[in-house]
Amino acid sequence: MERNLTNDVQLVTTQTIEIDQELRLESGRLLGPLTLAYETYGTLNDTASNAILVTHAWTGDAHAAGRHSEEDRKPGWWDNMIGPGRVLDTDKYYVICSNVIGSCKGSTGPTSTNPQTGRPYRLKFPIVMVRDMVRAQKLMLDALGISSLVTVIGGSMGAMQALEWGIHYPDMVRSIIPIAGTGRTSPMAIALNALARQAIYNDPLWKKGNYKPEHQPASGFALARAVGHISFLSEESMAMKFGRRFSARDGLFDFFGQFEVERYLEYNGNSFPARFDCNSFLYLAKALDLYDVSWNFSGMEEALERLDCPSLWFAFTSDWLYRPEQTEEVVDVLQKANKPVTYHLIDSDYGHDSFLVEPEKFTPYVVEFLRQLEV
């Protein structure tokens, strides 16, 4: 990490690491060589025992905290969580955030060059699962000389990664903190992703994934993002933010006039293609749809039997994408198996995005959990 505290701005640089080997994916296919993008915050201690891995959600990236330049308008996506004296205290911990494979934010994905053809993978890229993402992260940490993690913490798809870390690398992970997660993606979540996919497929510019980067299927992609974004919100949060207000720039009886909530979704969707790749969006959506912690186990009980480290779970009352009952299904199995598990249901009106919007409601529990690990 490059750090500069001038004007209280923490400057960071996204780094990449090249892994010159092939990763055998859950599909049986081989993917390699690999590039992993990552950022680090804080200092690794002499025994390399103070590392924390932060795992990101669907369209997130490695830029979890700080700014890349003093001119950046926004810091990293979890900046309020990571830094000196913050929840993930960089005076104490060495925090790492890695971009997942399948993404377009620096790690190997559909936009990367296929070494066999010299051209972008596009839809030749293999299907990856969350477990594959975690195995790639393990290769990265091995290359960085890190063999122990204080905890793995993340929300949404990041919670899935945290759970997979605890199950598949029990000798390396000392705890996990899954937030707004699930043990398996529900039919409703899969159905929403199916609508998003169809919006993209029906855009003639998609060309079965063979679009040029400068000519993405922006119309279909914007609609797909809007569908996804609705699932991150809640009825309560939309009522608070928009109500039934009609756009001041439109006439109430204009046929194409919009409510404020419509205009917001349109803006959010239309701005998204400029910062994310459509094929990567589809591949990560597929990884979410396929997620089931019991994959290649006889059931959830056998999979979770491998989770021996303490785990701290959070769900949010208004989350209708990964409902509290889905988190509680996993927690119940762990409790019945007498595993060291703690669960908190957090009252929040911000839906699935609560872990990003109102971290102050659950972070005291994280601080205490980490303190107990030191005892």
Kindly name the residue from 103, 156, 219, 280 that is annotated as catalytic: 156
Q: Are 260 and 242 in contact (CB under 8 A)?
A: yes
- Distance of alpha carbon 154 from alpha carbon 177, whole angstroms: 7
Consult the annotation and say whether 197 binds a ligand: no
Residue with tokens 């699962």: 129
CA angle 119, 128, 53 (to 5 degrees): 110
352 is catalytic: yes
Q: Are 341 and 166 in contact (CB under 8 A)?
A: no
Kindly name the residue from 61, 203, 289, 319 that is annotated as catalytic: 319
Instruction: To the nearest 10°, report the CA torsion of 113, 117, 123, 126.
Output: -80
Residue 10 amino acid letter = Q
Consult the annotation and say whether 249 binds a ligand: no
171 is catalytic: no
Label residue 106 left, alpha or beta by phi (over 0 means left) and psi (-120 to 50 means alpha). left
End-to-end CA distance of the chain: 29
Q: Are 188 and 164 in contact (CB under 8 A)?
A: no
What does DSSP say about strands 94-98 and 34-41: parallel, antiparallel, or unpaired?
antiparallel
CA 357 to chain centre: 15
3-state SS assignment for residue 313: strand
* Total count of residues recorded for the chain: 375
Annotated binding site for substrate: 225, 353
Annotated binding site: 225, 353
Q: Which residues are catalytically annotated?
A: 156, 319, 352
